[in-house]
Amino acid sequence: MICLKNVSKEFNKTKVLSDINLNIDEGQLIRIVGNNGCGKTTLLKILAGILKADDGDITYSEDCNIGAVIENPSFIENESLLYNLKFLYNLKNKFSYDICEKYCDLFSLDLNSKIAIKKYSLGMRQKAAIIQSVMENQNVILLDEPTRGLDNDSMNQFDNLIKELKQEGKTIIICAHDGVENIAFDRVLEIKKGKIEEKC
Ligand SMILES: Nc1ncnc2c1ncn2[C@@H]1O[C@H](COP(=O)(O)OP(=O)(O)OP(=O)(O)O)[C@@H](O)[C@H]1O
């Protein structure tokens, strides 16, 4: 689905990722771990195409349609959840109220709430961000610390969502220090000193 060959990235002459080689197959559920500042977010940004690698090649299968939650999600703060999800929908796709409602129900969010996003709690914003990453049936989902701000019930809801996406054959990559202990990952990768290695 995605293939990285000798991908490198440095910031201010410090190498964060060094000659990374990685094959991500369709339908894999992958966790990326590593110490603070090791380059997890950098790798996700490169995979999402929002950051350019300095060197190396990345190839994507033709049907690759990426959804992502990376760092702090931005919204139109004075507008409602529904307005924001409609706004974030890709222009070439027809907005599906039913799909958004399904994911909102799963996360106990009210899609018809008139409350402006700026009044949402951190956890509610995180759920809204996760919903936008899956609402268009994206088949590759990149999630950076997705359980940040989620309470225990919401973490269970998140686990259920990942299970469902996995059953649907989606390719999912999650960077997480914690909060994902109940998820059965196919692979766990660790970034260490600029290199990536399989942990299991
Ligand atoms: N835009 C940038 N400009 C300069 N340095 C950057 C930039 N983005 C990331 N870095 C640096 O690259 C390194 C890797 O950052 P990254 O955010 O990828 O780490 P991380 O593994 O996601 O960390 P954490 O677990 O704390 O979220 C850090 O040293 C960081 O300071």
Q: Is the CB of 41 under 6 A from ligand 1?
A: yes
Q: Residue 155 in 3-state DSSP?
A: helix
Q: Which of the four pLDDT bands, split at 50, 70 and 90, describes residue 72?
A: confident
pLDDT tens column, 133-168: 999 999 999 999 999 999 999 999 999 999 999 999
| Type of residue found at 1 | M
Long-range contacts of 99-103 (CB under 8 A, 24+ apart): 99/135, 99/136, 99/137, 100/131, 100/135, 103/130, 103/131, 103/134, 103/135, 103/161
Torsion of CA 179, 170, 199, 197, to 10 degrees: -120
ipTM greater than cut 0.95: yes
Give residue 108's domain range. Answer: 2-198
- With a 6 Å cutoff on the Cβ, whether 38 touches ligand 1 is yes
Residue 104 parent element (H or E): helix 97-106
CA of 16 to the centre of ligand 1 (A): 8
16 lines ligand 1 (CB under 6 A): yes
How far apart are the C-alpha atoms of 176 and 185, rounded to whole Å?
Answer: 12
CA distance 33 to 199: 9
Q: Is 66 in the pocket of ligand 1 (CB under 6 A)?
A: no
Q: What is the CATH number of the domain that holds 161?
A: 3.40.50.300
Q: How many domains does the chain have?
A: 1
The protein residue with its alpha carbon nearest to ligand 1, atom 4, reads 11
Structural tokens at position 89? 């929908």
* pTM value > 0.90: yes
Across the chain, mean pLDDT equals 95
Q: Give the model's confidence band at 93: pLDDT under 50 very low, under 70 low, under 90 confident, else very high.
A: confident
